[in-house]
Structure 1
């Protein structure tokens, strides 16, 4: 769908590479610009997860992209970058605010080279403001945005979510902004600057509870089985005799049927939020009596909204996950067999696949320059001068 769109990606960590990968999955030609030492994610992986020396963190966010390695500070780099940007439709960058300007690659500099370019900046807090120099990292944004304080049971410490959800949502918003700007360019013929940041992404993830707060509702985290400050019981994860079950948004009449307990009928629906701790304690008292599998059968029988509480070992064999083909496997020349999450959207019932595995550093430097009409002799000279790294040779 994005065939013919050239994207120049100055990105590292997760927010930027993942946004670039969304576009690459959709067919855009994404050229990942890396220093001769490689992007950060090549040499870092959360739990030191490497497959034969290759970072899993790198493998999960850099498929379908070309690695172009250049020393941005080398004297001969300017001409190469000018030619590259003149050929592009999109530039996406995730450096700290001001870094691209210092390299002569800020929006005004690049727009002068290519007025049709969509320029997307992804940052922690935005391109200016009192937090502009703060480090922007997922768990820090979960903390500052209120997300960690809203998560977990009452009486325990604020609880960060168990995944880099802010980074990934920031990537999604960045890709959305780029697509909107490309659509707008079809009408105006002009490029524009698009900005997304992790703070906005973290707040956007809380669109519902934050709106309740802004409009006067002050909820507290539940001390029992409710994971949210803003919902009636039952809403959350509850223990059974041998495990856990998740219950959500069931009426008290439904709970009366499930448990065969007339106590629930004595609580009015209008009081179910104020009395949610009583309701939760009553639910736990019943659930602890019977094993999880039996509760699943009973929930099905009375149409209770429920779900198993899966660990990853259950998720990877979940029949719906398998049916949806949510896991993408490929063979990598260094890492061997790799499995990552696939593109999350289907188009005419199909997910975009993998056209190229995450590349070795500088693997496409020579071919990209060839597309800009550089001769082999000119490319060899740039390699000899240390301006570029030719990882294909």
Structure 2
């Protein structure tokens, strides 16, 4: 049994941040019922990176394991009634509708908390549920740009540097996951449910607590320079450098020790805490030239022996085959009824007594509608009538 066994989650979210947060709850044993439109959630029909599956595309597959699918029309009165019946015994309700949509659908916190005062209601948004930006689209790249993070790396005068991941979506999912657990803990103590609000702008701002404090408290300007430093607030050399056969990264070594190893005499008399800032571009450029002389493996061996922080630059092919990744069990593998063998990142927290596990892969749309409604007390005749009327779906999109 998982650590959240016995907790039921109604997941009404779409795209990445909400489904990812709900999947993490499912990985810990919660019964996650994905409530989606009769024709399936939007993400089912959009290919990520051009990758499509047979019935379940890769993006949806990666974000919706350990869930059951209930396909209903929330715009229909009978569809809302089904949801209200499920809310009576639910522990968590999670949604990331645009502000105002939940109220129009009749699934806002005020409505559902009257049905079940113990409900933990998690509401996710782009910018917050009030204020001048509340109706703006909460898209990952847009939030990255607004957060200031794109100007913390790269060269002055060159375009801003976006993350290679859906960074804001991911950190928002983690924030919602943490908030859900905290609210469930509060409920265990008091019996009270509550509203938990998470927004993408605050999430991406908060994880920059060091960088922003250097600016707001330390008064240091966020200034990029001529070389592509990996971070404007970390001393040189810091970044990715070409070797004779690939790339490695170097993280702010002692200049004297580093200079001795790479054969750069000008580093030997430099002061780490002075010259590494005032001569940042010079140090970066000289490091770049010296590292072309040997292979990545040769440099990494020399740096490891000298206790200098350095590492390889991987692509996904190398990451998946890395021995530490394999040792950690960082990926889970299972067989899916329509997509075949699936290998995908797993749950990163290890529990000695209640480990996470994959109970089921991502569901087809409406795959569990009959099962969930039967548990809620609906008889077969009523379920058949609702399907015929288009209120529910069991089509397996």
TM-score normalised by the shorter chain: which range applies?
over 0.9
1:297 pairs with 2:294: no
Aligned to 1:253: 256
- Is the alpha carbon distance of 1:280 and 1:151 closer, same or farther for their aligned partners in structure 2, counting shifts above 3 Å? closer
Aligned to 2:17: 15
8 Å CA contact 2:144–2:162 kept in 1: the answer is yes
Q: State TM-score, norm by structure 1.
A: 0.96
Q: Deviations over 1:117-140 (max 9, x none)?
A: 000011111111111111111111
Mean CA deviation greater in 63-72 or 272-281: 272-281
Alignment of 1:149-298 (within 5 A): 149-215=151-217, 216-271=219-274, 272-298=276-302
8 Å CA contact 1:364–1:391 kept in 2: the answer is no
Q: State TM-score, norm by structure 2.
A: 0.95
Tell me the secondary structure at the aligned position of residue 196 of structure 1: strand
Higher relative contact order (CA 8 A, sep 6+): 2
Structure 1: distance between partners of 2:382 and 2:92: 26
Structure 1: distance between partners of 2:92 and 2:304: 50
Structure 2: distance between partners of 1:279 and 1:22: 43
Mean CA deviation greater in 319-328 or 221-230: 221-230
Tell me the secondary structure at the aligned position of residue 321 of structure 2: coil
Structure 2: distance between partners of 1:348 and 1:276: 46
1:378 pairs with 2:349: no
8 Å CA contact 1:221–1:227 kept in 2: the answer is no
Aligned to 1:367: 371
Aligned to 1:102: 104
Q: Deviations over 1:34-93 (max 9, x none)?
A: 111110111012222112243100000000001001011123223212111111011000
Show structure 2 runs of 5+ residues with no match.
none
Structure 1: distance between partners of 2:196 and 2:242: 46
Report the CA distance between 1:262 and its aligned residue: 3.6
Tell me the secondary structure at the aligned position of residue 203 of structure 1: helix
Aligned to 2:82: 80
Tell me the secondary structure at the aligned position of residue 345 of structure 1: coil
